[in-house]
Structures are given as C-alpha cells and as structure tokens.
Amino acid sequence: ILNVEQSPQSLHVQEGDSTNFTCSFPSSNFYALHWYRWETAKSPEALFVMTLNGDEKKKGRISATLNTKEGYSYLYIKGSQPEDSATYLCAFMGNFGNEKLTFGTGTRLTIIP
Amino acid sequence: DAGVIQSPRHEVTEMGQEVTLRCKPISGHDYLFWYRQTMMRGLELLIYFNNNVPIDDSGMPEDRFSAKMPNASFSTLKIQPSEPRDSAVYFCASNSRPGGLIKNTGELFFGEGSRLTVL
C-alpha cells in the first residue's frame, strides 16, 4: 500500500493571505505527481502534473514545487481569494509498470472573507 | 466540448439490489478509470481500462463488483448484490497518454460522480 499523505487536513486562511500545504509520497520509484483542485459538489480538476525533481509549475496565483529525492511537493497559493476555497488533492504515480495514480486524502482549504 | 458524463447522478437502493453506474468518456480518450470516494479512504482506484481492455482491477473490493467497457464510448460499473458499505460517490475519469511518453502521466478528466446510497 502506497503512503501518500497530505498536511494539514484542513486549513482556514484569511482572504488576502498566502498559504501552502504539503504532499508526501514515497521517494523511491517516483514517476509523476499530480495536483487537483476539488470544489464542493463539482468534480476534481487538474492543476499540475510534475515529473522532474526540482519542477516548479505556476498557474495564476497557484504554484507547486517538487522534490522527488525527499518525497514531497508543496502547493502555494498567493493572496488567497474566496474562490480558492476547495479541497486540494495530490496523486502519486510510481515506476511500477502500471499507470495507477494513488491519491492523498486532501487538504481542505477555507478562505475567510 | 462535453466532458466525462456519468449517470445516474444519485441512486438510492436497498441492500441486495443490483446497481449499474454508467460512464461516457471524453471522445478520443483511450484510458478510463473508475474511482470510489469515501470519507474514510478518500479516492480509491477500482479499475482502469486502456483501449477498452481492463488493465488493472486490483482495487475492485470483491466479486460483487464488476466493470465492463464494451466500446470506446461507454463503460459500466456494476454492484450485485449491493450492501450498505458500498455507499459512496463513484467517479469515472478519462484521459490519453501524452504523446511520446511511455507511461500515461496525463491529467485525469473526471465526471461529476454518481452518489450511491444503499439502505
């Protein structure tokens, strides 16, 4: 069983503040890491797919970094807005000969106006 | 463009009944995934198909669960007989392998899910 852990489980952030959270995954047999944004009553939507150690990706105010050697990825949100309220999921793909993504249980972010 | 389409959106049934969930992937996608979402375990992969062929069904909980993909535009997940512990949201997702890559690292496109309640 693969251990993909996200922390914290939930987070309340004041509007305008910046925040970040963590995804930890096995550092051996890494192949790819995904980040998804999941709003309540909707379906998860992809934010980033990262495959190389040291990758940094950015989409507007949201960015992510990847450290495959130590097995973690950070997601950053700059200047939080109410529409950023969602659950953020990471998903790990290992180099195991299959193409399965194992999801973490998510960080639930609430932006306080 | 139509996304991944799932039906029904909500299903309430009684223990012992057969449940069939349906999925239409995005046209042109050659991978289809069935996930189950529960509070306790998050999103779990049940089974995935490539070119309509089941590749890995190791996440299917038990023999009561079965999935088929008779053609590139349709898949079903069947539970027979259903039990209360099967209550969950079932998501279908599809994608294609990015060009030139050995493994499918492409982002998943999810449907809106089918919420199943077994009484």
Each residue's pLDDT expressed in tens, for chain A with a length of 113 residues: 678 999 999 999 999 999 999 999 998 889 999 999 999 889 999 999 999 999 999 999 999 999 999 999 999 999 999 999 999 999 999 887 778 899 999 999 999 99
Number of Cβ pairs < 8 A linking chain A and chain B: 55
Separation of alpha carbons A33 and A111, rounded Å: 25
- Token pair, residue A102, equals 């194992």
- pLDDT score for B39: 85
Which residue numbers in chain B have pLDDT < 50?
none
- Token pair, residue B23, equals 């999925």
E strand or H helix at B115: strand B114-118
Q: Which of A59, A100, A105, A107 to mutate to test the interface with B (most CBs of B within 10 A)?
A: A100
- Token pair, residue A30, equals 């890494």
State pLDDT tens for residues B51-85.
Answer: 999 999 999 988 999 999 999 999 999 999 999 99
A44 interfacial to chain B (CB closer than 8 Å)? yes
- pLDDT score for B1: 63
Cβ within 8 Å, pair A49-B105 = yes
Phi, psi (rounded to 5 degrees) for A98: -125, 180
Q: Which of A7, A39, A43 to mutate to test the interface with B (most CBs of B within 10 A)?
A: A43
Cβ within 8 Å, pair A102-B45 = yes
Which residues in A lie closer than 8 A to residue B50 (C-beta atoms)?
99
Separation of alpha carbons A110 and A112, rounded Å: 6
Among B4, B45, B110, select the one facing A100 at the smallest CB separation.
Answer: B45
Among A46, A51, A102, select the one facing B108 at the smallest CB separation.
Answer: A46
- pLDDT score for B106: 84
Q: Could you say which DSSP state residue B26 is in?
A: P
By the 10 Å C-beta count (0-12 exposed, 13-18 middle, 19+ buried), A91 is classed as buried
- pLDDT score for B26: 96
